[in-house]
Structure formats: C-alpha cells, structure tokens
Amino acid sequence: MNIGEISGKSGLPAKTIRYYEDIGLITPQRSENGYRRFSDTDLHKLTFLGRARALGFSIEDCRTLMAMYEDESRASSDVKLVATEHLNRIDEKIAQLQSMRSTLSHLVSECAGDNRPDCPILNDLACGKS
C-alpha cells in the first residue's frame, strides 16, 4: 500500500501519517523508488491511533497506549489509569467551558442587541460589572 491508499483506508490525512512516522509511532518500509510501503499491521496501528485521537488522547498518550497494546503482559489497571487521567482532564475542560458558557450566556441574554450603543457585555468586560 502506498500512502494514498492507506490514507483512504485509515481515514487519516497523508500529512498526518508522515508525521506519525516522523515521531516514531509507525515505521513503514520503503519501496525501491523511495515510496513508503505500508503493511496491514501499519493500517491496524493507524486505525488504533485514529480512534485514540478521536477520544482526545494526546500523541504521547497514544504512544503509551500502543506500547501497552503490544505488550501482552501489561496489566489492565495500567491502561485504566491512563484512561482515567484523560477522563479527568476532559471533565476539567468541560467544567471550564461550562463556566465560560454560563457567564457568557447570561451576558448575551442581557444585551438588547439593537441599534443603541449601550451594551452590558462590554460593560462587564470593562468594569467587571454586568
């Protein structure tokens, strides 16, 4: 498989696949013409990476998870720890965004949104008062 084909099958852009090789997540072989030649194992790894990234895991987490996946002797508790930490980070981000959302939606609802210049959103940003 050349990069275009595996890009289609894995759903990852060619740029991303080259990047993953650069940082050592995959190590495809090379054909005589210098083209990357991907195996089914590579496809499997890229699919794994795509799914992990879709769940928001960082590249370094992905590296760890892939290593665990290939290490038959790791304990499931190790995997669970990585996933739980990531889950906590997600919860923190959600809380942060919801806090923003709460303040902002309050301000938006207070703003008349008409042709007059007076605006509680700007007033709040300027003075901390809504």
- Asked if 116 is part of the footprint of its own copies (rule: CB under 8 A), the reply reads yes
Q: What is the dihedral of CA 72, 78, 82, 88, to 10 degrees?
A: 150
What is the spatial distance between Cα 64 and Cα 69, in angstroms, rounded to a whole number?
A: 9
β partners of residue 37: 29
List binders of its own copies among 79-108 (CB under 8 A): 79-81, 83-84, 86-87, 90-91, 93-94, 97-98, 100-101, 103-105, 107-108
Q: Are 80 and 104 in contact (CB under 8 A)?
A: no
Q: Which is nearer to DNA, 16 or 110 (CB)?
A: 16
Residue in 62, 71, 69, 61 with CA at minimum distance from that of residue 12: 62
Strands annotated E in the chain: 29-30, 36-37
Among the listed residues 48, 59, 63, 64, the single contact to its own copies using CB under 8 A: 48
Residues found near DNA in the complex (CB under 7 A): 2-5, 7, 13-16, 18-19, 32-36, 53, 58-60
Interacting residues with its own copies (CB under 8 A) = 44, 47-48, 51-52, 54-56, 65, 68-69, 72-77, 79-81, 83-84, 86-87, 90-91, 93-94, 97-98, 100-101, 103-105, 107-108, 111-119, 121-122, 124-126, 128
